[in-house]
């Protein structure tokens, strides 16, 4: 499967990966993907060499020639026949086995440059850079002929597109790339890429993706500014793939369409470099930072320099951001957190908690079971389950008390064990009974009915501020009665109606008085008093003598609550330092510092601080002060600092 390549800002940010270095004027280049080898020529070294595609295992295939004119120049491969072809600096084309054995003279020519093979068509094509001619011949050198000559100036490299019947060549003299029909050399046309390239050197084609790759360098004597370009076969949409200080005079170029990689030689730098333009679909292991798990995250095609955010696989939560650089995918941010499968969590002194699957970062409530009650909330953090809140404990019983029913009645019940039930009669003025159950300290009505009779009795109402008992007299059937609110409450009262043999509440406007009476409370040993407080107000009460601080009282639903505390002052007395020496100290308020003078026979002072009625040593009081008494030298008592 192939994928169209899009330009990215990162693709031209740096040079490619260096596969060979310290070469002597490397020139031609060819790649054998299936064989895993690349072949190149070094003009000044007069050699033809090869290495694995990762640059390892380099070896000389054609040893240095005796004469400079015989030095290998351009190179091409016939992988099917296991042959390598090369042009020489001057006047021949030769071939040999891929390992350099059985060298053959193919044809004489003049100043041959680049060479390309059409193995399926049984033809080879080469340029004569001195004569300005594009030649063609059979692979064995027979039936040689001129294909294109008119208008050609200095052709240095050639490439063919058998799928579309086109031949391309780089013309240094015209600083452009041209093409023609491969059948007869007709319809010569220049590709519109000259605007981006000062000097064209080498070309390579990817006929499957309909792209041409070009090496070019700036027209400067130092030759320090080169680039690798890509365009459509027509020359349109040209772009810079690679540039930078590591690309000076790129020359020979080859494209591996199966690996989506472009290779090039750099004459000035003496290197062979590669840029892989696409990361093929695959998976990457994302290792957890919290444990030894690793998630295999799948990804699709990515362009060099491209970014992709992908979700983590099944049984994991989260996502990661991936980047493709030179054919390799790496994680730039994000993490995969392992979800927690169904399992058990042991509790010391409690039951074993059983839970279902939990996603990492989520929480779930579980039942305690085994005669215990909760609730317990478990959380999952990257595959590890722990208790987030709550705990299991033995259930509580229900003490004797009262219970408000959903029928404006309140009943009294005795003490109940957890899970126990008790049937109670409805209160005076009601007919029927209710079955109550105790669940962990709370009573709940299970079943039954209480119907308020029209006889004298009580009814319980709730206007949103707590349940209030309202006593009423007997009501005749079909009549109504308004009852004033009882003591401690306020409002418009309650209007009741006798319908048949039971009471219906028509209005209920009684609420508890919104006021807390004056009172006192003991806080940390201090008796703190407050005056009357209106509902929603706050009353500040300072702490009494012997204490520091103050308390804020608030009134809610007729009940006073407090925030704050009182901290006790410290009385005078004696304190034993870390060496057991007793020092006398004065009284102090909470938070104050006191220097206790060491007794006779000792030197120094001990810094103390009063903390809620107790003195403690404060070594940070003064850097020059010792934290304990020191025995005096010679028994003399020095002066007090």
Per residue in 561-583, pLDDT tens?
999 999 999 999 988 888 888 98
Q: Where are the domains of the chain?
A: 16-276, 279-338, 343-390, 397-451, 453-513, 515-568, 573-635
What is the rounded average pLDDT of the residues 586-604?
A: 88
Diameter over CA atoms, the chain: 136
Q: What is the DSSP letter of 396?
A: P
- pLDDT higher than threshold 50 for residue 619: yes
Name every residue whose Cβ is closer than 8 Å to that of residue 1 and which is 6 or more positions away in sequence: none
| Residue whose entry in the numeric block shows the structure tokens 């596969």 | 19
User: Is the omega angle on the peptide bond into residue 374 within 30 degrees of 0, that is, cis?
Assistant: no
Of 10-19, 79-88, 187-196, 340-349, give the lowest mean pLDDT range: 10-19
CB atoms near residue 343 (< 10 Å): 12
In which band, very low, low, confident or very high, does the pLDDT at 224 lie, cut at 50, 70 and 90? low
Residue 399 sits at the vertex; the CA angle it makes with 397 and 405, to the nearest 5 degrees, is 100
Which one is predicted more confidently, 118 or 468?
A: 118
Report the pLDDT value the prediction gives residue 463, as an integer from 0 to 100. 65
Report the pLDDT value the prediction gives residue 262, as an integer from 0 to 100. 97
Report the pLDDT value the prediction gives residue 551, as an integer from 0 to 100. 93
In which band, very low, low, confident or very high, does the pLDDT at 53 lie, cut at 50, 70 and 90? very high
What is the rounded average pLDDT of the residues 93-100?
A: 98
Of 396-400, 458-462, 625-629, give the lowest mean pLDDT range: 625-629
In this structure, are residues 204 and 212 in contact, taking their beta carbons and an 8 Å threshold? yes
What is the rounded average pLDDT of the residues 318-343?
A: 92
Per residue in 68-96, pLDDT tens?
999 999 999 999 999 999 999 989 999 99
Domain 573-635, CATH among 3.90.930, 1.20.120, 2.60.40, 2.10.70: 2.10.70
Determine if the pTM surpasses 0.75.
no
Distance CA 325, CA 335 (A): 20
Distance CA 287, CA 214 (A): 41
Report the pLDDT value the prediction gives residue 4, as an integer from 0 to 100. 28
Q: 536 in helix, strand or coil?
A: coil
Q: What is the DSSP letter of 549?
A: E
Which one is predicted more confidently, 417 or 349?
A: 417
What is the rounded average pLDDT of the residues 427-451?
A: 88
In which band, very low, low, confident or very high, does the pLDDT at 347 lie, cut at 50, 70 and 90? confident
Report the pLDDT value the prediction gives residue 487, as an integer from 0 to 100. 79
Report the pLDDT value the prediction gives residue 223, as an integer from 0 to 100. 52
- pLDDT higher than threshold 60 for residue 5: no
Do 16-276 and 573-635 fold alike per CATH? no
Burial class for 183, CB neighbours closer than 10 Å (0-12, 13-18, 19+):
exposed
Q: What is the DSSP letter of 486?
A: P
Instruction: Return the beta strands (E) in 391-477 as ranges.
Output: 401-405, 409-413, 421-425, 430-439, 442-452, 457-462, 467-472
What is the rounded average pLDDT of the residues 422-444?
A: 89
* Superfamily per CATH, domain 16-276: TolB, C-terminal domain (2.120.10.30)
Per residue in 240-282, pLDDT tens?
999 877 788 999 999 999 999 999 999 999 999 999 999 999 9
Q: Work out the mean pLDDT of the chain and round it to a whole number.
A: 88
In the structure encoding, which two tokens stand for residue 132, read together?
A: 């300005």
In which band, very low, low, confident or very high, does the pLDDT at 197 lie, cut at 50, 70 and 90? low
Report the pLDDT value the prediction gives residue 464, as an integer from 0 to 100. 64
In the structure encoding, which two tokens stand for residue 427, read together?
A: 């209160």
- pLDDT higher than threshold 60 for residue 337: yes
Of 199-208, 457-466, 496-505, give the lowest mean pLDDT range: 457-466
């Amino acid at each position: 499967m192939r994928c169209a390549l899009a330009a990215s800002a990162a693709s031209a940010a740096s040079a490619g990966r260096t596969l060979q270095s310290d070469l002597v004027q490397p020139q031609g280049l060819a790649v054998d993907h299936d064989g895993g080898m690349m072949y190149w020529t070094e003009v000044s070294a007069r050699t033809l060499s090869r290495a694995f595609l990762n640059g390892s295992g380099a070896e000389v295939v054609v040893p240095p020639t005796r004469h400079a004119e015989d030095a290998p120049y351009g190179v091409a491969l016939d992988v099917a026949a296991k042959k390598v072809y090369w042009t020489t600096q001057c006047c021949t084309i030769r071939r040999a086995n891929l390992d350099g054995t059985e060298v053959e003279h193919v044809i004489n020519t003049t100043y041959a440059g680049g060479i390309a093979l059409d193995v399926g068509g049984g033809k080879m094509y080469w340029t004569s850079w001195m004569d300005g001619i594009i030649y063609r011949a059979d692979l064995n050198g027979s039936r040689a002929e001129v294909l294109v000559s008119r208008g050609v100036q200095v052709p240095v490299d050639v490439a063919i597109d058998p799928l579309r019947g086109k031949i391309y060549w780089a013309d240094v003299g015209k600083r452009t790339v041209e093409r023609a029909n491969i059948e007869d050399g007709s319809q010569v046309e220049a590709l519109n890429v000259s605007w981006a390239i000062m000097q064209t050197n080498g070309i390579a084609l990817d006929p499957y993706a309909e792209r041409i790759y070009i090496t070019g360098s700036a027209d400067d004597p130092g030759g320090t500014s080169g680039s690798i370009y890509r365009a459509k076969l027509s020359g349109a949409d040209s772009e810079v793939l690679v540039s930078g200080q590591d690309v000076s005079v790129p020359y020979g170029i080859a494209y591996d369409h199966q690996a989506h990689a472009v290779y090039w030689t750099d004459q000035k730098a003496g290197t062979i470099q590669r840029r892989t333009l696409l990361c093929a679909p695959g998976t990457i292991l994302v290792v957890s930072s919290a444990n030894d798990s690793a998630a295999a995250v799948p990804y699709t095609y990515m362009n060099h320099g491209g970014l992709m955010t992908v979700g983590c696989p099944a049984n994991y939560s989260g996502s990661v951001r991936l980047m493709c650089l030179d054919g390799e995918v790496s994680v730039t941010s994000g993490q995969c957190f392992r979800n927690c499968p169904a399992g058990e969590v042991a509790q010391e002194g409690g039951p074993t908690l059983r839970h279902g699957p939990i996603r990492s970062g989520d929480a779930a409530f579980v039942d305690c079971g085994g005669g215990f009650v909760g609730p317990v909330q478990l959380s999952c953090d990257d595959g590890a389950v722990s208790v987030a809140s709550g705990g299991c404990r033995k259930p509580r019983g229900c003490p004797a008390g009262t219970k408000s029913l959903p029928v404006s009645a309140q009943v009294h019940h005795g003490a109940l064990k957890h899970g126990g039930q008790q049937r109670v009669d409805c209160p005076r003025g009601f007919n029927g009974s209710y079955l109550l159950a105790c669940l962990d300290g709370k009573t709940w009505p299970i079943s039954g009915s209480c119907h308020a009779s029209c006889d004298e009795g009580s009814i319980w109402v709730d206007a949103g501020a707590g349940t209030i008992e309202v006593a009423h007299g007997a009501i005749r059937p079909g009549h109504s009665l308004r009852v004033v609110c009882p003591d401690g409450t306020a409002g418009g009262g309650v209007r009741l109606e006798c319908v048949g043999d039971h009471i219906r509440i028509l209005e209920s406007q009684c609420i508890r008085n919104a006021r807390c009476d004056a009172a006192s409370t003991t806080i940390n040993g201090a008796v703190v008093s407050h005056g009357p407080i209106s509902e929603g107000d706050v009353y500040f009460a300072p702490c009494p003598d012997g204490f520091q601080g103050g308390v804020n009282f608030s009134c809610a639903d007729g009940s006073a609550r407090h925030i704050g505390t009182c901290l006790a002052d410290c009385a005078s007395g004696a304190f034993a330092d870390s060496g057991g020496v007793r020092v006398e100290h004065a009284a102090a308020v909470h938070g104050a510092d006191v220097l206790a003078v060491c007794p006779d026979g000792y030197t120094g002072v001990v810094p103390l601080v009063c903390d809620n009625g107790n003195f403690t040593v404060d070594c940070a009081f003064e850097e020059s002060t010792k934290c304990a008494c020191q025995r005096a030298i010679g028994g003399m008592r020095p002066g007090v600092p």
